[in-house]
Amino acid sequence: MGEVLTTMKIMPDSPDIDLESIKEAIKTSMPEGATVHEISEEPIAFGLVAVILQFITEDGEGGSEAVEEMVQAIDGVASFEITGVGRLM
């Protein structure tokens, strides 16, 4: 079994949300079997900035589901979208 790198775009509730608190919640709440590869920001429009999370999980059934549930539970997160999935060699 290999590893998978998944990219997720996380949209905050509003431009006023503290993105650092969202990033810190992600770092401290990653489920077992998932590791943060990179967290960055992407300007969207009108002051709204998305958090871009890249994380690594084992290749297998339900690989990103635990991370998706964790992100959905963070205060200030309106929505998220998986924007990329690729197998690591």
Annotate 34-61 with DSSP letters as a single string: EEEEEEEEEEEETTEEEEEEEEEEESST
Structural domain total, the chain: 1
The pLDDT of residue 60: 78
**Residue whose pair of structure tokens reads 């919640």 in the numeric block:** 25
CA–CA gap between residue 38 and residue 20 (Å, rounded) = 14
The pLDDT of residue 63: 78
* Tens digit of each residue's pLDDT (9 = 90 or more) over 27-85: 999 999 999 999 999 999 988 999 999 999 988 777 789 999 999 999 999 999 999 99
Say which CATH number the domain at 41 has.
3.30.70.60
CA–CA gap between residue 71 and residue 55 (Å, rounded) = 12
The model carries a pTM of: 0.92
Q: Which domain holds residue 22?
A: 3-88
